[in-house]
Amino acid sequence: GGIAAKHGVRLALEFNSVAEQFNCLEVLRGVLARAGHPHCGLLLDTYHFCRSGGDPRALEDLAPQEIAYFQYSDVPKNGLQPGKTLDRLPPGQGAVPFPEIFRVLTEKRYGGYLSYEAPNPSAWARDPEAVVREALLATRALLPPA
């Protein structure tokens, strides 16, 4: 955290559901608590959160300052294969409970970026502008009313 502070940035740590360690929200929260530095925070990724068995109710326990960055994509409803992570979908097309997650972010007054992530060969084969437009419209449809 001290190095990040020295350079005026905040380090956002992400857990990865297919990693042997740092593979779920609880583990990464423990690491961040031990670091105890305001320039270190959680990169919350809906894909890895749901693949690791995360429950949106667990997000209610997060202090707002713990969330440094929010990254999202949807998880297929069926056919998850261990180690394969190029199956991400636009929001609302899979199993991620986006209305609940966006509700929690809104209640916590998260004011940072929402970063859509689209690692999927079918998305790569399409016009990038069309992929972004689809994700933007899908995201807006799932956000709580202002």
pLDDT for 24-42, tens place per residue?
999 999 999 999 999 999 9
Give the tens place of pLDDT for each residue, 67-121.
Answer: 999 999 999 998 777 778 899 999 999 999 999 999 999 999 999 999 999 999 9
* Residue 39 to residue 68: CA distance in whole angstroms: 9
- Report pLDDT for 85: 84
| 135 or 80, higher pLDDT | 135
- Report pLDDT for 84: 80
User: What mean pLDDT is predicted for residues 20-24?
Assistant: 93
The answer to whether the beta carbons of residues 95 and 76 sit under 8 Å apart is yes
- Report pLDDT for 45: 97
Task: Determine the length of the chain.
Answer: 146
- Report pLDDT for 133: 97
Placement of tokens 């994700």 in the chain: 135
E-assigned strand segments in the chain: 11-14, 40-45, 67-72, 114-116
- Report pLDDT for 82: 77
- Report pLDDT for 78: 85
- Report pLDDT for 49: 96
Which CATH fold topology does 2-142 show?
A: TIM Barrel (3.20.20)
Does this model's pTM top 0.75? My answer is yes
For the record, the structure tokens of 20 come out as 């042997």
Decide: residue 14, CB within 10 A, 0-12 exposed, 13-18 middle, 19+ buried: middle
* Residue 71 to residue 135: CA distance in whole angstroms: 13
Question: 76, 55, 58: which is closest to 66 by C-alpha?
Answer: 58
